[in-house]
Structure 1
Amino acid sequence: MTTSLSSSSSKADQPDVAPPVVDRAAFEAALAEQVAREKEVTRLNDRVSAARRRLPMVEVEDYAFDGPDGPVRLTELFDGHYLLLVQNVMFGPDWEEGCPSCTWAVDTLPARMERLEEEGIAFAMISQAPVEKLERWRTRRGWSHTWVSSGGTTYHHDWGWNREDEDGQPYQLPGYSYYLLRDGVPYLTYATTARGTEATLPVAHIMDRTAYGRQQDWEDSPQGWPQYPTYG
């Protein structure tokens, strides 16, 4: 059984529990077993990535989004590149702040985003909220990324970023869309949501490899390990 902690607790506070202490030989034997399991995951991931590179693509409307300086076409988000990564940030039209988990994801993007540009990849964010709200949140967070509003388009509904639950209540999904620009036409080549977004979250992977993992309430951790509400 793990230990659920209140929001008043902090991950910055060292837990009372810790892994068992063993000698060097025992540690290296246990680590070797773990590395062998992780190599299996790496090989599987290579096969999954190979299949991803063989996906077809679908043409996408050249939507006219709202930017801080006026309309911005989807094709303009490529900014001279042929590949585009879009982060679909949850920010409803009537919200005053961006989604906490999406905000965390943006905060943990690479410090030098020009590394993406060197690989021919542009980056932009799309949300439904009016661009004025996006600009206020961007300023508050200190972001410099391209961020446009889809509020005047059907983009979020067309591509499933807005959905309804079993009771007909609307909700949004976070995620990433990957596009290819070919002969001036934008194509969607891949998209992922839910935990599929973790591939672009380096901080999450760093936490996974610490002694306590992410310390989130869904994790399978040893008895007494600290756990906090995932979206607390």
Structure 2
Amino acid sequence: MNVQNHPVVSREEWLAARQRHLADEKAFTRERDRLSAQRRALPWVKVDKDYRFRGPDGELKLADLFGQHSQLIVYHFMFAKGWEEGCQGCSFLADHFDGADLHLAHHDIALVAVSHAPFAEFQAFKRRMGWAFDWVSSDGSDFNYDFGVCARSEDAAAGKATYNYEKTDSAEEEMPGLSVFYRDEAGAIFHTYSTYARGLDLLVGAYNFHDLTPKGRNEDEIMEWVRHHDRYEGGAKSACCHGE
């Protein structure tokens, strides 16, 4: 939208237009509530595979990532072996974690980032970003492959990789995503939900602020303007690939 030539009206005309739009906003809120209820009603899959991770105190099982909670949100953070810094888009999203983490922990939810790189390789970057949230490595495990965020190099090169529940020739070896798990009182773990691409928008609180403003997100490509938060005077475009 061209904000320079935007229509300007009287307060009465503005109020009438705003009330019409409010009706659409309320319909959207009700639809979002319906989709959220539908999401919670999805069937679950029991997780029997023995996934192993590496954290600050050594090896961890998937059950360990829950801590004392029954619900676990895993953010699949794009940081591959040999990288010196994480994906800019994932970093933009992760900047929202620490503020939410305390509230989540007090409502029976653990939030953990998981990356494919060896644990030691992303510690300097985590310190640089000033983050405190839990972040572990799945190096040597099939976890990232099984939950749809890593592709074998030969599959990615041949355009046979799957991302966001469909085969695509644009998938890379490392992609972003989020997975949710539940642990029952007997200790059984279930995979309840995963989302990718634009499904991750809900986690980016800054975008919700953008959407309230006249210029909106003001981007030609998704996250093209995003930088690591200590490099906003320059730097490359986001490395994340997000489709619809």
Q: Same fold, TM exceeding 0.5?
A: yes
Any idea what the Cα deviations from partners look like across 1:34-88, whole Å, max 9, x if unmatched? 2111122111112111211211111222411011221011111111100011111
Q: What corresponds to 1:109 in structure 2? A: 97
Which structure carries more relative contact order (alpha carbon 8 Å, separation 6+)? 1
Matched, 1:151 2:154: no
Q: What corresponds to 1:179 in structure 2? A: 181
Q: Normalized against structure 2, the TM-score is what? A: 0.80
Unmatched 5+ stretches in structure 2? 160-170, 227-236, 238-244
Contact 2:116 2:138 in 1 (8 A): yes
Q: Which amino acid aligns with 2:59?
A: P
Q: Which amino acid aligns with 2:55?
A: G
Shift, 1:184, TM fit:
1.2
Q: Which moved more, 1:35-44 or 1:148-157?
A: 35-44
Partner of residue 41 from structure 2, selected from 50, 54, 58: 54
Using a 3 Å threshold, how does the CA distance of structure 1 residues 121 and 18 change in structure 2: closer, same or farther?
farther
Q: Which moved more, 1:126-135 or 1:40-49?
A: 40-49
Unmatched 5+ stretches in structure 1? 3-15, 220-227
Any idea what the Cα deviations from partners look like across 1:136-192, whole Å, max 9, x if unmatched? 111010111111111111111112111244634842221111110112122110110
Using a 3 Å threshold, how does the CA distance of structure 1 residues 18 and 104 change in structure 2: closer, same or farther?
farther
Q: Which amino acid aligns with 1:79?
A: G
Q: Distance in 2 between matches of 1:154 and 1:112?
A: 28
Matched, 1:216 2:224: no
- How do residues 113-152 of structure 1 correspond to structure 2 at under 5 angstroms? 113-152=101-140
4+ runs deviating over 6 angstroms? none
Look up the SS of the partner of 2:83 in the other structure: coil
Shift, 1:17, TM fit:
2.6
Q: What corresponds to 1:65 in structure 2? A: 53
Q: Distance in 2 between matches of 1:211 and 1:170?
A: 34
Q: Distance in 1 between matches of 2:225 and 2:195?
A: 20
Shift, 1:18, TM fit:
6.4
Q: What corresponds to 2:193 in structure 1? A: 190
Contact 1:128 1:156 in 2 (8 A): yes
Q: Which amino acid aligns with 1:194?
A: A
Q: What corresponds to 1:86 in structure 2? A: 74
Q: What corresponds to 2:158 in structure 1? A: 167
Q: What corresponds to 1:207 in structure 2? A: 210
Using a 3 Å threshold, how does the CA distance of structure 1 residues 165 and 28 change in structure 2: closer, same or farther?
farther
Q: Distance in 2 between matches of 1:208 and 1:18?
A: 19
Q: Percent identity?
A: 36
Q: Distance in 1 between matches of 2:81 and 2:188?
A: 29
Q: What corresponds to 2:224 in structure 1? A: 229
Q: What is the aligned residue count?
A: 211
Q: Distance in 2 between matches of 1:132 and 1:90?
A: 15
Contact 1:216 1:230 in 2 (8 A): yes
Q: Which has the higher strand share?
A: 1
Q: Which moved more, 1:157-166 or 1:94-103?
A: 157-166
